[in-house]
Amino acid sequence: MTFKIGIVAASSRFSRESADRLTGFMAERYPAGEVAAVFHEASFLTHGHFAGDDAARARAFIDFANDPRIDAVWFARGGYGSCRIAETVVGAMTPEARKKRYLGYSDAGSILAALYKAGFPHVAHGPMASDINRRTGPETVQRSIDWLVKGGTKGVEPSLATDPRPAVAFNLTIIDQLVGTALEPDLTGHVLMLEEVSEALYRIDRMMFHLTGQASIRRVPGIRLGRVSDITPNDPDFGMTPEEIVRYWCARSGVPYLGAADIGHDGDNKVVPFGPR
């Protein structure tokens, strides 16, 4: 029997070229058809910045989440837009949807947070379908497929093997925007892993000020920092590294800084299942 991974675009546009590249990889890796990628046709719609308008993207996600023929749901890519449909999506989930694993990162964090808040047990940060386009594409997406199919731990973030506490991982911009909204999950007792891309250091500093100033975030037992990549230039130089910024705000807020996390907007991005292990 074929394990079907449903791929859906909840945010920015997705290309057929990327889908074809992933389909080719799957055919080569699973020649007997034991695992297959199934793309929702709405993933290829365009509506300005988005992969279809809000209603179309929400319907597509709900279709795959509730379809008993789909075994897991994988985000096609990030960008921006999942926050616009997250409440609609979670409100339309059936018991069938709760059986599935859901995987993505970056902008997908808005829906992942909402699912986790709603008690979905199999939600994780990890590479998306579009990561097939990276230099390490086959290796990168394989760790996601391993988790989606069987909850494999080979590609899981290393600190989870030694730290028994529940954990979550988010792009810094996304979790900073989620606090105080209807999508924010209760992260009390959870190690919070953060990563970021294409932001100036002063903006990282400002987001850490806001994030660590939240009473809800001050209930986490610690923060780990993943990679902060493609930092946009600033004149004058901010004068602190990303790690120094995070350490500074952790110290100011009383949240322990726990060190590095092996996550980021790159081919080495690891899987972080949300919650207890």
Q: Return the pLDDT at 43.
A: 94
Provide the 3-class DSSP secondary structure of residue 94: coil
CA 177, 80, 83, 193 dihedral sign is negative
Q: Return the pLDDT at 175.
A: 98
CA 2, 149, 28: angle at the middle one, nearest 5?
A: 60
Q: Return the pLDDT at 54.
A: 98
Helices 242-253 and 201-212, packing angle to 10 deg: 20
Count of all residues that appear for the chain in the document: 277
Q: Return the pLDDT at 23.
A: 97
Q: Return the pLDDT at 229.
A: 98
Q: Return the pLDDT at 150.
A: 95
Quick one: 87 exposed, middle or buried, by C-beta within 10 A (0-12, 13-18, 19+)? middle
The reported pTM is 0.97
- Tell me the C-alpha distance between 254 and 219, whole Å: 10
pLDDT along the chain (277 residues), means of 10: 97 95 97 96 95 98 98 97 98 98 98 98 98 97 97 96 97 98 98 98 98 98 98 95 98 98 98 94
Q: Return the pLDDT at 277.
A: 78
